[in-house]
Structure 1
Amino acid sequence: MSQDPPTTGEQVQDQNNQNHDINSELPFPIMFTSLTETEMQGFLHVNHALHGLLINDSSGPIRSKQQVAMFKGGGYYSATWIREVNNLKLETINTQSERDSNYVHLGWSLSAVATQTPWISARIARENQTTEKGRWTTRRATLQRLRVEIAQDDLMPKPGFEQEIKAALMLSTMTEKIVAVHEALNRWGDVVPLLYDFGISISFTDLAENIDTDRSWWGINYSLLGTTRFNMEKRATPNFGGSARVIVERGFGEWMYQEVDAKEWSLTRIHKVLPTFQLLEKDLQEELADLHSKIISFSNVQLSYCATEGGITWDDCPHALKCVNQLHVHCGDRINGLSLVYKDGTQSNSGGTGDTKHSFELAVDEHITDILTWADSRILYGIQFITTKNRLSPHYGGAPGTPALLTAGGGILAGFSGLLVNENDQDSMRRLQVSVTSTVVRLTRLATRIYTEYIGGSGGGPFNDWEYSGGSHNAYISSIDVQCGSQIDGIQFTYTDKSIHNVHVTKAPYHGVYRELETTRPGQFLHDYLSPRTKGV
């Protein structure tokens, strides 16, 4: 009697998983080969044998409606893939996270669960799903009737899948490419099974302390499962085949001997999966790998740093594929600390907690795209955030130093890293790097933005009129009111947003003190490089 050899992934996950094959007393099964050729092809087709599986959901895999792979030899399958078996497989499997337990509960091996690529990891992170850590136990009994083992070299991608990936890689911007690739995966699937079993099975899963692994399957009273420590609906129901009534009323032994017609067998165990990208030609795989390597980029706030200063460093890069839900800023007259709360509940920590804590919360589909900073050559004094919904955070901290704009260039804020130095009993940021990720969700397309260098001195009270024009393709400055004597004392901008159907004019708040008034003439605009949309308006 043969047993599946434990894989490295299974050994790493848990050394105490039990796996037993019992085939000495099973009745002679209904044979798959008794089916006609049409019935065999129909059986595999109905069970979506060559369809992709989406695995970015922590609750379990979702089967794609698209067939992602084809048999190179023609037809739907090769006879060399099929092997009839007649085994009863009893398993006790321990997992270390709720996500893994959900997949194992649905028949996945630990090595299949562990199969991921950078693209799959990014998609899982973007789902923002919390997954508890702990210890779960799954007990599963499987009547194996048919094993399907597909050689990777026997498969080729469906033309539609390959064409969609090629079209994605031909788009003009990196963000558009990344979004299109993820949308293709949503349609075609992340992985395709290569080694799997058909038959009937039953499994139940719970926290390890709630599972009595010493009791044999024959000794379990299944009629009590719903009223004791198992969730009958989610954790103790037969997954496939067999009759639930038989196992409850007459026990496991009767259920095991219950004959099920071959056409009624279902996919019960998945031992091995192949990322769908590995169906593609090598040059496409290399292009996809290169594209993924550019998902995360970095922008720096230019501060001088002496290596002898010491201090505390932090790095949010481990969270860089997640979505930010909230920002915390600790500040007084300078920025003492920055931390991010991600949508899966995890939180980064810059280490700085001085002075007052301020929070800026984002909506479900809102992201940070631009960051304004105020800094001199040594210290970050102030910071302000701009979102995809054209919201502007308050100005946090002080205003000394030169303002600078860090833009995500089509991406979104993913994290911070930097150096904190304690001076005079307060933390100061001596180095700040912003991690930007090209989003995998399609953002509303913003107007092309070109920024000038900062002109002027430092200090004073900062102001920002972004909310009056930043989110529109059609907005421009139509009037500037200037209060001045021997120097500029105040300024006020009027913004016009001209669409096909109407014209919306907004006068932003006045900034500064009042003196005599000078105004730009009607129809007079700032230079075109500041307002690309103004020409011909």
Structure 2
Amino acid sequence: MSINCIVLDSNDTAPPPDLEPANDSSKDLGDNVLRNAGWLCGFRVDSMHEPRTSGRQVASYVDGAAPIIEKAHNVATDITTTDTKRNANYVHCGWSLDAATTISPWTSSRIAATNQPNAVGTWYTRIIKTKRFRVEVLLEDLAPMPEFEAAVEEALRKSTIFEKFQGIYRVLGRWGDVIPLEIEIGSSIALTGGNWGYVHPPEISERKHDSIAWLSTINNVATTITVCEPKRSLNSSANYGICPLLQNTQGADLSLTYDQWVASEAHNTQCQRIVVNKVAPTISLLSGDLQTRLSELYAQRLSYVPPNGVGPIDCEHKTYDDNMHVSRKISSIKIRSSNYIELLSISYSDGVISSSHGGGGHVGTEYEFALVPDGPRVFGGRELVPRVPKEEDVYSEYFGDKGQNGCIFNDRVIIGNSNALYISSIQVWWSDLVYSIQFTYSDHVDGRELNLSTARHGGPGNQYNQFALEDGEYIVTISGRQAVNCITQLCFVTNRGRTSEVFGGGEGQSFSSLAPRDRDGNYFRLQYVCGKSNGTSLTGIMFIWTPCWSGLD
């Protein structure tokens, strides 16, 4: 919850402040003021205590772009409620809740690695500010500094995944996790406490004409005063334990009354940054290609399924998928077993329990493995990848046996969420029908070519052929024939018009599947198949198309 109101002196009959045009305001706001406020610099937000400026300019304006600068003369009060110690610390430093909770997955990893405790509770922050300027810029009007972009590219060129991760962590530690897009410059008084009465005690109005020094004596409240000209400092956190700090914090003349402080700050020009309303991750400054490479690298932290350990699934069996819990933290695992595992259930630290995977009876002995609850809190949930993996994939119609003849297979277990793996060859065993099929995939990782083959779907056949694809070549059309209980014929056509042999006989009903096109008219490519097979033949098949990866064009 955030309450925002303008507080005016009862004797002040002046109309509400008008915002002045950016061109006029920019004359009053020098480059040094913006530089001291950390404008265009990156900020590290991996600490529970406070945001810290990197001191490096991480972005510059694109040609013709400029910040929006508004000038105002008013006193305003913001009251914000937070539910974690970290958010309370950041809001006390002038960061909005939106800015404080903008955390990229790379930052979350660094926070988790340091195992910093983050207490849960309720805190109230009251910020009284004399706003002089509001500075804002659009993300699309910024470009990354060439040195920052080069540092990211250098980290991604490391030879191992571990070195790449450490390289990116070092880059963000040096250049910052986020960049401010909207700040306010002026003077402020910040009070933070665990009780509403602590930050809004009755004596504030009763002692309004006393010196502001008494604010530091309020029990259970953190107090920070940020003013335009350095006098004496006032930065107290008595009995609270918060770590308040604003970059370039200057002191205050403690002999002034509250009204005198407001009046004096209205005419000062050497102002400090007092509020950060909006930020963006520094990696969002990078090109789309670099962001995709970073996303694919980070996704490798999630899981790895050995392809040789995944076999065909009998139609009488059931499969389970807990991908919706991928961002949660496991707190305990429950297993019931006898001669084999009867049931598996997973509990998470936020109280969610997965569905019971397995039987519903009470056979066997039940065991529960509880993890020690000393891990850090995870901020956010669906932030590991910027979009839903494979959400643009298109599924063809299913061809073949519509009954229960055969075991289910799905080559997605080989592909995972990768957009880089591509089909390099297709192996088919056939005669009067298609007995079995197998796909070989290739990828280039760290300068090496990796080859990976799927399981062979079907049984032995009389004749074997391989259809090898050349560099940059991919499947765009499949035709064939289907009988009631099997696939009798298959033929593949590539984007270069090359056609494979016709594998199989001429019995059954004909079918075809053509790759869809994207918005620019480019064909999708065949990435993997799923279907059914038994010990004799390929009984059913479905084709999955994906947008063409740039590396294949």
Q: Secondary structure in 1 aligned to 2:223?
A: coil
1:220-252 C-alpha deviation (Å, 9 max, x unpaired): 575444444135xxx113134366597754432
The letter of the residue matching 2:367 is D
User: For the residues of structure 1 that align with 2:325 and 2:140, how far apart are their CA atoms?
Assistant: 40
Tell me the CA shift for residue 112 of structure 1: 1.1
Deviation digits for residues 58-92 of structure 1 (CA, Å, limit 9, x no counterpart): 10101002110012238xx83x5222111211111
Task: Give the Cα separation in 2 of the matches to 1:52 and 1:26.
Answer: 42
What is the TM-score of this pair, normalised by structure 2? 0.50
Tell me the residue number matched to 1:84. Answer: 71
Instruction: Look up the match of 2:509.
Output: none
3-state SS, counterpart of residue 189 of structure 2 = strand
Correspondence for 2:224: 237
Aligned to 1:168: 155
- State the partner residue of 2:120: 133
CA distance in 2, matches of 1:420, 1:261: 72
Q: Distance in 1 between matches of 2:356 and 2:203?
A: 56
Identity across the alignment (%): 26
Match of 1:350 in 2: 333
Would you say 1:213 and 2:196 are equivalent positions? no
Partners of 1:271 and 1:220 lie apart in 2 by: 31
Q: Corresponding residue for 1:4?
A: none
Relative to structure 1, is the Cα distance of residues 38 and 172 closer, same or farther in structure 2, using a 3 angstrom cutoff?
Answer: farther
Q: Which residue of 2 aligns with 1:291?
A: 297
C-alpha displacement of 1:145: 0.5
| Counterpart Cα distance in 1 of 2:152 and 2:334 | 42
Post-superposition offset of 1:104: 0.4
Matching residue of 2:87: 100
Q: Which residue of structure 2 lines up, in the alignment, with residue 336 of structure 1?
A: none
Residue ranges of structure 1 left out of the alignment (5+ in a row): 1-13, 321-346, 355-374, 381-415, 430-537
In the other structure, the counterpart of 2:36 is: 46
Q: For 1:1-80, what aligned pairs fall within 5 Å after superposition?
A: 14=1, 17-22=2-7, 25=12, 40-73=30-63, 78=66, 80=67
Match of 2:367 among 427, 441, 444: 427
1:322-333 equivalent positions in 2, closer than 5 A:
none
Residue 280 (1) aligns with residue 286 (2): yes
CA distance in 2, matches of 1:87, 1:137: 23
Relative to structure 1, is the Cα distance of residues 159 and 249 closer, same or farther in structure 2, using a 3 angstrom cutoff?
A: same
Which of residues 181, 184, 195 is equivalent to 2:171?
A: 184
Deviates further, 220-229 or 298-307: 298-307
The partner residue of 2:340 within 374, 378, 384 is: 378
Maintained 8 Å contact 1:23/1:86: no
The TM-score with structure 1 as length reference comes to: 0.51
Letter in 2 for 1:427: Y
Q: How far is 1:420 from its partner? A: 10
Residue pairs, 1:241-320, within 5 angstroms: 241=228, 248-259=254-265, 262-298=268-304, 318=327
- Contact residue 68 and residue 188 of structure 1 kept, 8 A: yes
Q: Indicate how the Cα distance of structure 1 residues 295 and 23 shifts in structure 2: closer, same or farther if over 3 A, else same.
A: same
Cα separation, 2, equivalents of 1:230 and 1:214: 12
CA pair 55-263 structure 1, distance change in 2 beyond 3 A: same
Q: Distance in 1 between matches of 2:186 and 2:53?
A: 19
Residues 61 and 143, structure 2, Cα contact 8 Å, conserved in 1? yes
> Is the contact between residue 193 and residue 199 of structure 2 (CA under 8 Å) also seen in structure 1?
no
Query: In structure 2, what is the Cα distance between the partners aligned to 1:54 and 1:173?
Result: 26
Taking the TM superposition and a 5 Å limit, the aligned residue runs for 1:442-453 are: none
Letter in 1 for 2:51: P
Deviations for 1:268-320, whole angstroms, at most 9, x for unmatched residues? 101111111111111111111111111122468989999999xxx99995566
Answer whether contact 2:338 2:363 (CA < 8 A) is retained: no
CA distance in 2, matches of 1:273, 1:193: 4
Q: Secondary structure of 2:30's match? A: helix
Count of residues in Structure 1 that have an aligned counterpart in Structure 2: 324
Deviations 1:174-198 (A, max 9, x none): 2221211111100100111111111
Distance 1:376 1:424 in 2: 4
1:116 to 78, 84, 103: 103
- CA shift, 1:425, in A, is 5.2
Match of 2:134 among 128, 136, 147: 147
Specify the SS of the correspondent of 1:129.
coil
- The answer to whether the 8 Å contact 2:25/2:69 transfers is no
The residue that corresponds to 2:407 in the other structure is none
Separation (CA, whole Å) in 1 of partners of 2:178 and 2:367: 47
Secondary structure at 2:143's aligned position in 1?
Answer: strand
Query: CA separation in 2, counterparts of 1:190 and 1:83?
Result: 26
Deviations 1:434-470 (A, max 9, x none): xxxxxxxxxxxxxxxxxxxxxxxxxxxxxxxxxxxxx
Q: Is the 8 A contact 1:197 1:269 kept in 2?
A: yes
Gaps of 5+ in 2: 235-250, 343-353, 370-553
State whether residues 303 and 377 of structure 1, in contact with CA within 8 Å, keep that contact through their aligned partners in structure 2. Answer: no
**In the alignment, is the contact (CA less than 8 A) between 1:195 and 1:271 conserved in 2?**
yes
Please say if residues 315 and 417 of structure 1, whose CA atoms lie closer than 8 Å, have aligned partners that are also in contact.
no
Residues 287, 26 of structure 1: CA spacing in aligned structure 2 closer, same or farther, 3 A cutoff? farther
- Which whole-Å CA distance do the structure 1 matches of 2:123 and 2:272 have between them? 25
Q: 1:417 to 1:266 in 2, by over 3 A?
A: farther
Shift of 1:44: 1.9
Match of 2:403 in 1: none
Deviation sequence 1:346-373 (CA, Å, 0-9, x none): x822357x9xxxxxxxxxxxxxxxxxxx
Q: 1:158 to 1:212 in 2, by over 3 A?
A: closer
1:41-69 deviation digits (Å, cap 9, x = unpaired): 22222333111001111101010021100
In structure 2, C-alpha distance between the alignment counterparts of 1:275 and 1:132, rounded to whole Å: 25
Q: Is the 8 A contact 2:28 2:269 kept in 1?
A: no
Does the 8 Å contact 1:57/1:127 carry over to 2? no
TM superposition shift of 1:215: 3.8
Distance (Å, rounded) in 2 between the aligned partners of 1:134 and 1:283: 41
Partners of 1:160 and 1:246 in 2: CA distance:
38
1:133 is displaced (CA, Å) by 0.7
**Secondary structure of residue in 1 paired with 2:257:** helix
Residues 279 and 246 (structure 1), Cα distance of their counterparts in 2 relative to 1, 3 Å cut? closer
Distance between the aligned counterparts of 1:156 and 1:318, measured in 2? 31
Note closer, same or farther for the CA distance 1:206–1:351 as it changes in structure 2 (3 Å cut): farther
**SS of the residue 1:348 aligns to:** strand
The AA in structure 2 aligned to 1:68 is: V
2:228 and 2:268 in contact (8 A); partners too: no
The answer to whether the 8 A contact 1:81-1:148 is kept is yes
